[in-house]
Structure 1
Amino acid sequence: MQHTIVMTGAGRGIGRVAAEHILRQSPDVHLLVVARGTSGTQLATELSTGGHTVSYVSADLGSLDSVRSAATEIRDRLERGELPPLRGFVGNAGMQYTNALTEGPDGFESTFAVNVLANHLFVRALQGHFTTPARIVITASDTHFGDFRHNLGMVPGPAWKSPDVLARTGAFPKPDTATGGRTAYSTSKLAAIYLVHEYARRLPTGIDAIAYNPGFVPGTGLARNADPVSRFAMRRILPVMALTPFATSRGAAGRYLANVVLGKTKAPTGSYVDRGRVTRSSEESYDPRRERELWDAAERFASTYAA
């Protein structure tokens, strides 16, 4: 039966590969991509090649007001019958800045806004419109472990604080440096896992929530805000690491993501999927007190922009 999957971050990197796999493996999917500005038109056209059904909604994920508008449009299209039943949401878009001082239009620190709050607003706005069985997949990162084995010393581990602090600029030491920005990134990915655990507790039966870790994937657009030397290394040098056990190729990471979205990787709600297998995330990522605290804060932050 034809159904809709909503996806952010489908324009490049592992998201683009995953979108292509989803469409090839599941011809009944109507893929609705969320993209910034007018880029969605070209993306939908390119993904539609071969007779696939793809549409788009425009949104700036750094703006909760823009996310609310996009979620409202999706919901309205579902209610009017312009889209087939909603069976999935993929929050794959991610952002890493060279500092922890970048502020979005709503006053939130931009890493936290894109990697945490935008996904939460989409999930909550669309929650009542899923047709079960449905699956929500949020792209996490093994940087949340904070050890050398998982991040090769390239990204500092998370530095958890009150969500009211994390949501604002300057939450970490040396906030004007790349170290501050990378700490914001790893902390936001820990937050994403916390919310997945809360979704597993709170969402209706039949709507599963999964955190997906692609591993270290060189050659994606994640470093697009980095300095020229770092961008060159990510594009030209580090991709060689995909030939080793220390990294994942873009193609493999995208294929793994598609398999999680389509349910080919079996994973109960609340799971952490590391590439192709269900495993445990970091010990720090299992903290019911923090999870409830973050849920309450995310609900409060998003309430002004509720669709």
Structure 2
Amino acid sequence: MAILSPSKKVVLITGATDGLGLEAAKKYLKAGFIVVITGRNKQKTQKAVKNIKVSTGDTDDELRYILLDLASLTSVRRAVQDFLTLSLPLHVLVNNAGTTTKTREFTEDTQLVEKTLAVNFVGPLLLTELLLPKLRESAPSRILNVTSSLHEPNPKIPGIPTNFDLDNLDGSKQWEFMYAYKNSKLAVIWHTYLLSERLKGSGVAVNCFCPGFVPGTNLNRDAPFLTRFVVKNFMGKLKSAVTIEKATDDYLLYGSNTELEGVTGKYFRDGKESSSSADSYNLEKGKKVWNVACDIAGLDDTKY
């Protein structure tokens, strides 16, 4: 794999205190990047920093951290300011952090959308918008949005709908944790495609990817007990399951492969460009969801 010159390249990875984000941070650090990770809890984030340093043998102080809770727009804005105070460029932004919930919940900022959509889509959209000046300044740069193949309609799986209902963003008509998760990941793809169009010619590439089915992550920490039990004890044995080690190879690939320089507006899976669902190419629908996110985040100037 051809790698960009690692000389002072900087990557910011959200949700890197465990799972895929943590392992991806290790791989970027080993590849020579300056790595900035985020976490919600200071103690847990500092523990992750120690873990990464020990694992990689980092002695050059090329690993930093900032606190970020995507459920709070105040926290998102504060995190951006904290990153800017580091006086670093930004070559790769990996929007990795995500969540599921046991029940229909809301963040402190809004009841226009339920919490899963707020954390997995609205928070990262605001974070990205606020970091765009730094990404432009550091170009060529890349934005990587972590999505999931679960955004694709699959009626064989109970509870996963075949349609994103614009009148049900708050989950008032129907709510089920996989329904909410699926829709949030479809919104992530809309964000990718729409932002890539806006940034054409800027030197900032925007792509999204599915890391595969990775049972070893902590994503399901807030899912119903039965779901957590099945994932932990059975689903890791499926042939389709991917290890954290293998999945994070793609995190580094998409952020550093020179062959992807300038490639933008794409959906990747299994290390190569793929097609996302038919609904994900309905950008007029995507714009409506984007505008709701802008209303929530106070980004009136970025609405369609």
Q: Same fold (TM over 0.5)?
A: yes
Letter in structure 1 aligned against 2:249: R
**In 2, Cα distance between the equivalents of 1:171 and 1:182?**
15
- Contact kept in structure 1, 2:154 and 2:162, CA below 8 Å: no
Which of 204, 211, 231 is the aligned partner of 1:234? 231
Which of 97, 121, 126 is the aligned partner of 2:131? 126
Which residue is equivalent to 1:290?
285
- Contact kept in structure 2, 1:140 and 1:189, CA below 8 Å: yes
Alpha-carbon shift at residue 224 of structure 1 (Å): 0.8
Which residue is equivalent to 2:152?
145
Alpha-carbon shift at residue 297 of structure 1 (Å): 2.3
Alpha-carbon shift at residue 83 of structure 1 (Å): 3.5
Q: Deviations over 1:119-168 (max 9, x none)?
A: 111110010111011000010000111226xxx72660354233x741x3
**In 1, Cα distance between the equivalents of 2:253 and 2:20?**
12
Which of 83, 98, 102 is the aligned partner of 2:105? 102
Which aligned segments of 4 or more residues in structure 1 are displaced greater than 4 angstroms? none
Q: What number of residue pairs does the alignment pair up? A: 284
Which of 20, 30, 44 is the aligned partner of 1:24? 30
Q: Deviations over 1:51-104 (max 9, x none)?
A: 2611111121111111111112212x1xxxx333111110111111123x2111
**In 1, Cα distance between the equivalents of 2:99 and 2:247?**
17
Letter in structure 2 aligned against 1:216: F
- Contact kept in structure 1, 2:110 and 2:296, CA below 8 Å: no
Q: Deviations over 1:157-191 (max 9, x none)?
A: 354233x741x3x3442x3xxxx111011001000
Change in CA separation of 1:305 and 1:190 when aligned onto 2, cut-off 3 Å: same
Aligned pairs for 1:237-252 (under 5 A) are 237-241=234-238, 244=239, 246-252=240-246
Which residue is equivalent to 2:197?
201
- Contact kept in structure 2, 1:212 and 1:273, CA below 8 Å: yes
**In 2, Cα distance between the equivalents of 1:212 and 1:299?**
23
| Mapped pair 1:218 → 2:215 | yes
Change in CA separation of 1:142 and 1:264 when aligned onto 2, cut-off 3 Å: farther
Ranges in structure 1 where 5+ consecutive residues have no aligned partner: none
The two structures have a TM-score, normalised by structure 2, of 0.86
The two structures have a TM-score, normalised by structure 1, of 0.85
**In 2, Cα distance between the equivalents of 1:62 and 1:238?**
29
DSSP 3-state at the match of 1:86: coil
DSSP 3-state at the match of 1:46: helix
- Contact kept in structure 2, 1:220 and 1:235, CA below 8 Å: no
Alpha-carbon shift at residue 300 of structure 1 (Å): 2.2
Question: Percentage identity across aligned positions?
Answer: 27
RMSD of aligned Cα (Å): 2.2
DSSP 3-state at the match of 2:91: strand
Alpha-carbon shift at residue 298 of structure 1 (Å): 2.0
- Contact kept in structure 1, 2:121 and 2:187, CA below 8 Å: yes
**In 1, Cα distance between the equivalents of 2:228 and 2:255?**
29
